[in-house]
Chain A
Amino acid sequence: MKWEQYPEERVFAALRSVLSAKGLVTDAEIFETIAVTERASPEQGARMVAKAWVDPDYRALLLRDGTRAAELLNITMRGAPPLGVAENTPDVHHLVVCTLCSCYPRAVLGYPPFWYKSVAYRARAVRDPRGVLAEWGTVLPESTRIRVVDSTADYRWMVLPLRPANTEGWSEERLAKLVRATDMIGVTVPKVP
């Protein structure tokens, strides 16, 4: 019987026992990593964005040290690359891409969407960002300069979007529900439904 014919749980258990016997990694470490990976989702990044919108001190920390700001909200960053945060303003809009592969701030946004990894997005985001944004229905004033962040090396980048108008007095929880992964990549901007 070939290993492919065994149930995947048995293959996984066999692999774990070999790794453990060789002293490379324990079962506990593997299961902790699985739990951390499953917790990572855009809701984590959205919590950070919402807090930055209501708390100026947190906003300053987020822009200075994204990793520390994530940890402050109990997001596990151990083993993750350093997190950088690009702040949108009325004058500058950021769009994140990885032209070389698919670098993505997984710890705070989860798995990258399929199109983020596509050759078309990676090639076009740097050449024609306004054209890409238009296809997402995102039209920015001509006076807003677009800054494409090519995530080429050791950092991972997310966007701190502008807080939408007419959200005065909203709670962090309510604000967080407005923020999508696409807003933190920069192809869209958060809107009040």
Chain B
Amino acid sequence: MPTLEPGAKVRVRLDWPEARGPAHIRTPHYVRGREGTLVRSLGEFRNPEDLAFARPAPVLPLYHVLFSAKDLWPDTRPEHDVLVELYGSWLEAL
């Protein structure tokens, strides 16, 4: 998992773990596969996807990632932004 710095362009993994079985996911469906800009690091937290099932939970970096609404929903008028907390395990550096 790469360490990401503020200003980095990132893509959210296009993945649907809930299609493979029971899952607890804090990555909203509307950002998966979409590109945004990392604006700040929020520290490190234990992976909620494991905590929810009482499994050993590794610590993950948590980031604030900013998306333009037009990159999420092309028909958005007028334009706005959406700021989302995402774990490093869901992000790919562009």
In whole angstroms, how far apart are the Cα atoms of A148 and B82 in the complex?
Answer: 5
Tell whether, in the assembled complex, residue B82 and residue A152 are in contact, meaning their CB atoms are under 8 Å apart.
Answer: no
Tell whether, in the assembled complex, residue B28 and residue A153 are in contact, meaning their CB atoms are under 8 Å apart.
Answer: no
Tell whether, in the assembled complex, residue A154 and residue B45 are in contact, meaning their CB atoms are under 8 Å apart.
Answer: yes
Name the CB-closest residue of A to B63: A153
**CB-CB contacts of A137-151 with B at 8 A, as 1s and 0s?**
000001001111111
Contacts A82-B43, A127-B73; A153 near B26 (Cβ below 8 A): yes
Tell whether, in the assembled complex, residue B80 and residue A155 are in contact, meaning their CB atoms are under 8 Å apart.
Answer: no
Out of A86, A142, A145, A153, which one reaches B85, CB within 8 Å?
A: A153
For residue B83, CB closer than 8 A to chain A, the reply is yes
The smallest beta-carbon distance between B70 and chain A, in angstroms, is 12
Tell whether, in the assembled complex, residue A130 and residue B82 are in contact, meaning their CB atoms are under 8 Å apart.
Answer: no
Chain B residue total in the interface (Cβ 8 A):
24
Tell whether, in the assembled complex, residue A100 and residue B28 are in contact, meaning their CB atoms are under 8 Å apart.
Answer: yes
Residues on B with C-beta less than 8 A from A127 are: 69, 73, 76
Residues on A with C-beta less than 8 A from B73 are: 127
Name the CB-closest residue of B to A84: B42
Q: Which interface class (under 10, 10 to 19, 20 to 34, 35 or more) fits A? A: 20 to 34
Residues on A with C-beta less than 8 A from B69 are: 126-127
For residue A129, CB closer than 8 A to chain B, the reply is yes
Out of B43, B66, B82, B85, which one reaches A126, CB within 8 Å?
A: B82
The smallest beta-carbon distance between A27 and chain B, in angstroms, is 27
For residue A188, CB closer than 8 A to chain B, the reply is no
The smallest beta-carbon distance between B47 and chain A, in angstroms, is 10
For residue B86, CB closer than 8 A to chain A, the reply is yes
The smallest beta-carbon distance between B67 and chain A, in angstroms, is 9
Residues on A with C-beta less than 8 A from B78 are: 130, 142
Residues on B with C-beta less than 8 A from A150 are: 28, 82-85
For residue A88, CB closer than 8 A to chain B, the reply is no
The smallest beta-carbon distance between A162 and chain B, in angstroms, is 18
Contacts A100-B28, A127-B76; A154 near B83 (Cβ below 8 A): no
Tell whether, in the assembled complex, residue B80 and residue A129 are in contact, meaning their CB atoms are under 8 Å apart.
Answer: yes
The smallest beta-carbon distance between B58 and chain A, in angstroms, is 14
**CB-CB contacts of B69-91 with A at 8 A, as 1s and 0s?**
10011001011111111110000
Out of A82, A142, A147, which one reaches B81, CB within 8 Å?
A: A147
Tell whether, in the assembled complex, residue B83 and residue A147 are in contact, meaning their CB atoms are under 8 Å apart.
Answer: yes
Residues on B with C-beta less than 8 A from A149 are: 83
A-B contact pairs, 7 of them (CB 8 A): A100-B28, A126-B30, A147-B82, A151-B85, A152-B84, A153-B86, A153-B87
- List residues of chain A with CB under 8 Å of any chain B CB: 82, 84, 86, 99-100, 126-127, 129-130, 142, 145-155
Known pairs A82-B43, A100-B28, A126-B72; list 15 more (Cβ under 8 Å): A99-B30, A127-B76, A130-B80, A145-B79, A146-B80, A147-B83, A150-B83, A150-B84, A151-B85, A152-B27, A152-B84, A152-B86, A153-B62, A153-B87, A155-B42
